[in-house]
């Protein structure tokens, strides 16, 4: 299972989200077809662009609970004080990717930042 975790500022577009996903995948030499799902934190539940991007890509969007996001935070690579203050995790994209990818999930690297969107790719064996 390969998960693209998404973090964003408010008011991003689906195009912004797709571009960040494409950039993150390219950084790891991967194709969009390798993804199993998108994931984001509870704080982004109302960010329509993430769900529109999932629909455009025919991928489910997993909304990770605050508890699961915080539990996965120890495995993050990147650290954002703004993310920590607003979402309770140093990286929404990395923590949501790890949480959604399940136990023993691993990030392929630090999040990719493309304008107002961050994307992190995690590999795991199943859902949490």
- CA gap 54, 75 in Å, rounded: 25
The residue ranking higher by pLDDT, 127 or 91, is 91
Whether the pLDDT of residue 54 is over 60: the answer is yes
Main-chain dihedrals φ then ψ at residue 119, nearest 5 degrees:
-140, 130
Question: Superfamily assignment of 2-123 in CATH?
Answer: CobE/GbiG C-terminal domain (3.30.420.180)
The pLDDT of residue 127: 43
Q: Which residues contact 78 (CB under 8 A, 6 or more apart)?
A: 90, 91, 94, 110, 111, 118, 120
Cβ atoms within 10 Å of 26's Cβ, excluding its own: 12
Q: What is the mean predicted confidence (pLDDT) over 81-103?
A: 86
In angstroms, the CA 122 to CA 38 distance is 10
The pLDDT of residue 78 is above 80: yes
- The structural domains of the chain, with segments of one domain joined by +, span 2-123
Report, as an integer, the average pLDDT of 104-125: 95
pLDDT at residue 103, rounded to an integer: 87
Q: What is the largest CA-CA distance in the chain?
A: 34
pTM comes to: 0.92
Tokens of 9: 């500022």
Residue 128 has pLDDT above 70, yes or no: no
Q: Which two tokens stand for residue 22?
A: 């494409």
For the chain, give the percent of residues with pLDDT over 90.
82
pLDDT at 101: 96
What local confidence, expressed as pLDDT, does residue 86 receive?
77
């Amino acid at each position: 299972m390969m998960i693209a975790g998404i973090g964003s500022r408010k008011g991003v577009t689906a195009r912004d989200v797709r571009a960040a996903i494409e950039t993150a995948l390219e950084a790891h030499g991967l194709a969009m077809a390798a993804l199993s799902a998108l994931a984001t934190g509870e704080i982004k539940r109302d960010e329509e662009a993430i769900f529109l991007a999932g629909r455009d890509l025919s991928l489910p969007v997993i909304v990770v609970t605050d508890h699961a996001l915080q539990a996965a935070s120890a495995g993050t690579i990147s650290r954002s004080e703004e993310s920590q203050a607003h979402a309770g995790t140093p990286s929404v994209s990395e923590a949501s990717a790890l949480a959604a990818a399940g136990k023993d999930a691993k990030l392929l690297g630090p999040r990719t930042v493309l304008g107002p969107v961050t994307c992190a790719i995690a590999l795991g064996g199943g859902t949490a």
